[in-house]
């Protein structure tokens, strides 16, 4: 039975397109041009927010209340990276019966937005594949699955990372 | 500048994993501080408690709990919560009421009985809580953020794993001489290197543990102090600043920094602004300091604090360490108590424990850890969600 695909947080990123399968989006550069993180932009001062700020602008010099959705840059440069060698506590979902498999986390600097956004690296990304300053791109990914739902998320993938 | 308040007494319950309640630890620390001050509990006009922490959020209300355990005697009460910065907020709440003339003498207490392992968020399904979401969406534990800072320092400043290990070596050597520390054994760089990686590039011995423990101080007006003692340690400044927008450093539990697209970043980041506010209020600068107690949640973070406290130029934290300046006997010893590396973190007690260490150092009673002739010291830390914390004490 097919599971429904649902974003782990509604409204933080575009839903994956019809060509994206469950597994890692391993189509390489250019496969998911439409997949973006969704922030908001204050219509008064231009400040960008991610995670999205929908009611009040957080610029202390601005009292703006009109914030419109804006897609964030699809590519950025690695600000830093690390990994999780031990199973994180709930609400992170993992199968306690299976041996813990470390995954990589990447903080990515987006030039246009002048901000740093965290994300898990695409499955298969190793620490050795990364360096501070290298270019990465956003790809759709799967966080976890339960009986009814495939919970989708965003991943950062080294550019040109055909695997 | 504000007026000084006096530190009449300091006391702790030793850090460890004792398996008892935070109230018991807090009362033990309070009684030690009162004895040190030569005062009775019934002399205290204000009790301030730093609330315990459960899942990043306030746990047990502390002020009234300690007041009841010590025996209701009608004192004013205040309870505060600011995560890791709770202790400094408690000190400041007492200071402000003393300076406002609402109380002459106050007892400040922080204590916790910490759960084992990673700090986990509060339970339930709470998708509107960033601290819950970072675990759900990223599995980002506190060491995740420490690992990111450490890797960034390696790329930007050339810090090495050996530098990080040497912070642990330094702090464990100091902690070995501190009867209140949980870990009282010198650790070698080889032992750090042999410990398991938790969040690359940091290993188990680079990251502080969670502990049970308690610390307390008795604070008073200078007028009250003159009637009870001569030449007391004085608190000259307490910095409790929030960040300035846009905050461009990724702090836990953030998913992202603020954007600097529309507003230029402030000249100082949060940690540096915490220190700058403390220096300004105290009317002293980094060159006037004899020691510093900083929040070494990780070894790499201690090096960051050197720079944010302006003990050295940005990027030169590792050099300051390599030169031996921050070890006992160096130009500006840092974490003479042994730091979190030797204590582990008992969150609401920790910033008060830092003030206890300054107090003993400035009185010349720190034993084998003593910084000769210490006259001025600073503490620094930062609490989850944007709480600055720094205390300047002088004698
Ligand atoms: Zn605005």
- Contact: B255, A113; criterion CB under 8 Å: no
The answer as to whether B313 is a domain residue is: yes
- The whole-angstrom distance between B248's CA and the closest CA on chain A is 7
Which domain covers residue B257, as residue numbers? 130-203+235-394
CA of residue B127 to ligand 1 center, whole Å: 25
Q: Do B153 and B271 fall into the same domain?
A: yes
Assigned domain for B322 exists: yes
The reply to whether B69 and B42 lie within a common domain is yes
Give the distance from residue B267's alpha carbon to the nearest chain A alpha carbon, in angstroms.
16
All residues of chain B having their beta carbon less than 8 Å from the beta carbon of residue A59 are 245-246, 262-263
Task: Find the closest chain A residue to B264 by CA distance.
Answer: A114
Q: Report the gap between the CA of A112 and the closest CA in chain B (Å).
A: 7
Determine whether the interchain pair B120/A9 forms a contact, defined as Cβ–Cβ distance below 8 Å.
Answer: no
Check whether residue B228 and residue B242 sit in a common domain: no
- Residue B125, domain member (yes or no): no
Using alpha carbons, select from B83, B120, B147, B132 the residue that is nearest to residue B255: B132
CA distance B213 to B206: 21
Query: Which of the four pLDDT bands, split at 50, 70 and 90, describes residue A23?
Result: very low
Same domain, B90 and B113: yes
Can you give the pLDDT at residue B385?
84
CB contact under 8 A, B262 and A45: yes
Q: What is the chain B residue with the closest CA to A87?
A: B139
Cα(A68) to centroid(ligand 1), Å: 11
pLDDT in single tens digits along all 395 residues of chain B: 689 999 999 999 999 999 999 999 999 999 999 999 999 999 999 999 999 988 778 889 999 999 999 999 999 999 999 999 999 999 999 999 999 999 999 999 999 998 766 677 777 888 888 889 999 999 999 999 999 999 999 999 999 999 999 999 999 999 999 999 999 999 999 999 999 999 999 999 999 999 999 999 999 999 999 999 999 999 999 999 999 999 999 988 999 999 999 999 999 999 999 999 999 999 999 999 999 999 999 999 999 999 999 999 999 999 999 999 999 999 999 999 999 999 999 999 999 999 999 999 999 999 999 999 999 999 999 988 889 999 999 99
Please report residues of A whose CB lies closer than 8 A to that of B117. Answer: 89
The alpha-carbon radius of gyration of chain B (Å, integer) is 20
pLDDT of residue B330: 98
Please tell me the total count of domains within chain B.
2
| pLDDT in the model for residue B164 | 98
- Taking 70 as the threshold, does the pLDDT of residue A25 lie above it? no
Ligand 1 center from residue A45 Cα (angstroms): 4
Contact A80 B201 (CB under 8 A): no
pLDDT tens digit string along A72-93?
999 999 999 999 999 999 999 9
Clarify whether residues B260 and B361 are in a common domain.
yes
Distance CA B55, CA A12 (A): 24
Confidence of residue A18 (pLDDT cuts 50, 70, 90): very low
Residues of chain B numbered 177-196 and touching chain A (CB < 8 Å): 196
Interface of B with A in 251-280 (CB under 8 A): 254-263
> Is the predicted pLDDT of residue A5 greater than 80, yes or no?
yes
Cross-chain CB nearest to B255 (options A112, A117, A143): A117
A-proximal residues of B, 358-387, CB under 8 Å: none
Picking from B126, B138, B158 by the largest number of A CB atoms within 10 A of its own CB, the best residue to mutate is B138
Q: What is the mean pLDDT of residues A90-101?
A: 93
Interface size A-B, in CB pairs within 8 Å, comes to 144
The verdict on a CB contact (< 8 Å) between A112 and B261 is: yes
Predicted confidence band at A15 (pLDDT cuts at 50, 70, 90)?
confident
CB interface of B with A, residues 211-250, below 8 Å:
245-246, 248, 250
Residue in chain B closest to A59 (alpha carbons) equals: B245
ipTM: 0.94
Check CB contact under 8 Å for B139 and A88: yes
The C-alpha atoms of residue A113 and residue A90 are separated, in whole angstroms, by 32
Euclidean distance between the first and the last CA atom of chain B, given in angstroms as a whole number? 17
Q: Is the pLDDT of residue A31 over 80?
A: no
- Residue B116 is predicted with a pLDDT of 67
Phi-psi region of B185 (alpha: psi -120 to 50; beta: other; left: phi over 0): beta
Q: Is residue B374 part of a domain?
A: yes
- Please give the residue of chain A at the shortest CA–CA distance from B259: A115
How far is the C-alpha of B203 from the C-alpha of B198, rounded, in Å?
Answer: 5
| CATH assignment at residue B31 | 3.40.47.10
How confident is the model at residue B79, as a pLDDT? 97
A12-16, A47-51, B1-5, B121-125 — most confident range: A47-51
Is there a contact between A132 and B152 if contact means CB atoms under 8 Å apart?
Answer: yes
| B208 within some domain | no
Residue B41 and residue B184 in one domain: no
List the single residue in A51, A91, A131 with the smallest CB-CB distance to B136.
Answer: A91
The verdict on B204 touching A (C-beta cutoff 8 Å) is no
- The structural domains of chain A, with segments of one domain joined by +, span 4-37+72-158
**Are residues B43 and B141 located together in one domain of the fold?**
no
Residues of A in contact with B199 (CB under 8 A): 82-85
Q: Given this model, what pLDDT does residue A161 score?
A: 53
The rounded Å distance from CA A47 to ligand 1 centre is: 6
Q: Does any domain span residue B123?
A: no
Q: From the list B127, B140, B250, which residue is nearest A9 (CB)?
A: B127
């Amino acid at each position: 039975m097919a599971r429904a695909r649902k974003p782990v947080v509604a409204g933080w990123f575009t839903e994956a397109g019809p060509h994206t399968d469950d597994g890692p989006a391993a189509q390489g550069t250019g496969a998911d041009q439409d997949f973006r993180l969704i922030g908001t932009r204050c219509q008064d001062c231009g400040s960008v927010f991610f995670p999205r700020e929908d009611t009040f602008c957080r610029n202390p010099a601005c009292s703006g209340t009109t914030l419109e959705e804006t897609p964030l840059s699809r590519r950025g440069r690695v600000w830093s990276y690390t990994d999780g060698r031990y199973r994180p506590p709930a609400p992170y979902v993992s199968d306690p019966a299976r041996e813990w498999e470390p995954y990589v986390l990447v903080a990515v600097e987006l030039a246009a937005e002048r901000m740093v956004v965290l994300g898990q690296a695409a499955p298969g990304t190793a620490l050795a594949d990364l360096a501070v300053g290298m270019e990465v791109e956003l790809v759709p990914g799967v966080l976890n699955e339960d009986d009814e739902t495939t919970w989708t998320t965003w991943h950062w993938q080294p550019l040109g990372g055909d695997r | 500048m504000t007026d000084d308040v006096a530190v009449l007494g300091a006391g702790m319950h030793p850090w460890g994993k004792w398996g008892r309640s935070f109230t018991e630890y807090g009362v033990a620390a309070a009684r030690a501080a009162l004895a040190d001050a030569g005062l009775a509990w019934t002399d205290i006009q204000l009790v301030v408690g730093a609330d315990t922490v459960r899942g990043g959020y306030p746990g047990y209300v502390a002020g009234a709990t300690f007041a009841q355990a010590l025996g209701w005697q009608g004192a004013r009460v205040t309870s505060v919560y600011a995560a890791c910065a709770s202790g400094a907020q408690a000190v400041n709440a007492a200071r402000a009421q003393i300076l406002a003339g609402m109380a002459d003498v106050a007892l400040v207490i922080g204590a916790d009985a910490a759960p084992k392992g990673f700090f986990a968020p509060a339970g339930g399904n709470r998708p509107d809580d960033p601290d819950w979401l970072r675990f759900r969406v990223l599995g980002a534990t506190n060491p995740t953020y420490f690992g990111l800072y450490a890797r960034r320092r390696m790329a930007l400043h050339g810090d090495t794993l050996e530098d990080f290990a040497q912070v642990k070596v330094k702090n464990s050597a100091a902690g070995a001489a501190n009867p209140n520390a949980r870990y009282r054994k010198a650790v070698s760089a080889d032992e750090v290197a042999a410990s398991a990686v938790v969040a690359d590039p940091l290993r188990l011995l680079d990251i502080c543990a969670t502990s049970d423990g308690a610390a307390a101080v008795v604070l008073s007006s200078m007028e009250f102090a003159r009637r009870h003692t001569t030449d007391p340690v004085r608190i000259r400044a307490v910095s409790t600043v929030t960040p300035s927008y846009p905050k461009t450093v990724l702090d836990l539990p953030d998913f992202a920094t603020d954007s600097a697209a529309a507003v230029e970043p402030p000249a100082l980041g949060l940690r540096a602004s915490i220190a700058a506010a403390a220096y300004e209020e105290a009317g002293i600068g980094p060159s006037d300091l004899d020691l510093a107690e900083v929040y070494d949640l990780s070894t790499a973070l201690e090096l960051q604090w050197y720079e944010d406290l302006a003990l050295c130029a940005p990027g030169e934290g590792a050099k300051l360490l390599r030169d031996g300046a921050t070890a006992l006997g160096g130009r500006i010893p840092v974490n003479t108590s042994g730091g979190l590396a030797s204590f582990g973190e008992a969150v609401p007690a920790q910033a008060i424990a830092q003030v206890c260490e300054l107090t003993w150092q400035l009185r010349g009673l720190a034993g084998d850890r003593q910084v000769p002739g210490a006259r001025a010291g600073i503490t620094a830390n930062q609490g989850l969600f944007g709480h600055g914390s720094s205390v300047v004490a002088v004698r």
